Amino acid sequence: MQNFIKLGISIGDPNGIGPEIILKALSEEDSLNDIIPIIYSELEIIKFYLNHLTIKADLNIIDDPLKAKYGHLNIYQLSNSNFKIDFGKQKKESAQVAFKSLSKASEHTLKNLIDGIVTAPIDKNTIQGHNFDFSGHTEYFTSIASRSQSLMLMAHRKLKVGIVTNHLSIDQVSKAITVGAILNKISLMDDSLKRDFKIKNPKIGLLGLNPHSGDGGLIGQQEVKIIHPAIQQAIEKGFNVLGPFPADGFFASENYKEYDGVLGMYHDQGLTPFKILSKNQGVNFTAGLPIIRTSPDHGTAYDIAGKNKASFISFKNAMLLAKQIYLNRSKD
């Protein structure tokens, strides 16, 4: 008997490229191998994009995830708001549609009505409100899953890059780098590499915060006073972790290939080399949660919205990774 995996898909900002990459990915047969996708959306938005992209699909309109069918474009129909697509425009109305989709898909994920969720990009500015007061999807899912911490883990083939601090301004980063914070993220990465990626004894490379990893204290004290002690404590706890390494040389010399996971200190330090190396085909996975949430590694791309230019590869990979993590966790 074939075992199917139900993945909920939040539509993202409908004025961005979210609906386009979703429908393009789902029109690829190999994207749906054992996956039953459920798009949480107003029906008219899906119909508009199918017509705009000239994609034919066998629609299955549902009000219960149990009614989803394999080989169909399952639409969990949200209430119609008479929203009109306005390509590339930041609007509160489109953000409200995005949140409605995200909220319902998240609810079904938490209730185990679906096996995981793949989120299309939202506009983090316009979506802010009394229902969404977070700097991004990562923080939102950490909160609704009732966890104090999670790990933003970028994945592409053998490359896995996590970060100690998520969506923080540069002037806040150094204050957030503590021994406790580093140890927590090392633990989350180690656990995820073992559980979600089935790596038995993961080797983790830790990046420094300052240029040249501080040059022994000449350029900042964080490596000497915080990062080195955190590494030592991690080793004492049984984690296989080395560092801290200067970020530029670590990636330029391809030293990252010797490690199962790389842990950077802040957002751009980890994500910039990751996106260059993965060539915009990578996946953002929120590790450390009881639920499975993945997403493409890019944003709303308003500048190309409606032009049929958006690549669906990262979104497709996000679906496939969610499926693989589900299967790996099922082996526990």
The C-alpha atoms of residue 221 and residue 33 are separated, in whole angstroms, by: 50
pLDDT (0 to 100) of residue 31:
67
Domain ranges of the chain: 1-147+289-332, 150-287
Give pLDDT, residue 2: 65
Q: What is the pTM of this model?
A: 0.96
The yes/no answer on whether domain 1-147+289-332 falls in CATH 3.40.718.10 is: yes
Q: What per-residue confidence (pLDDT) applies to 28?
A: 85
Matching fold, domains 1-147+289-332 and 150-287: yes
Q: What is the pLDDT of residue 1?
A: 46
Cβ atoms within 10 Å, residue 228: 18
pLDDT along the chain (332 residues), means of 10: 87 98 91 90 97 96 97 95 95 95 98 98 92 93 96 97 95 96 98 98 97 90 96 98 96 96 97 95 98 97 97 97 97 82
CATH architecture group of domain 150-287: 3-Layer(aba) Sandwich (3.40)
- pLDDT tens by residue, 180-210: 999 999 999 999 999 999 999 999 999 999 9
pLDDT of residue 157: 95
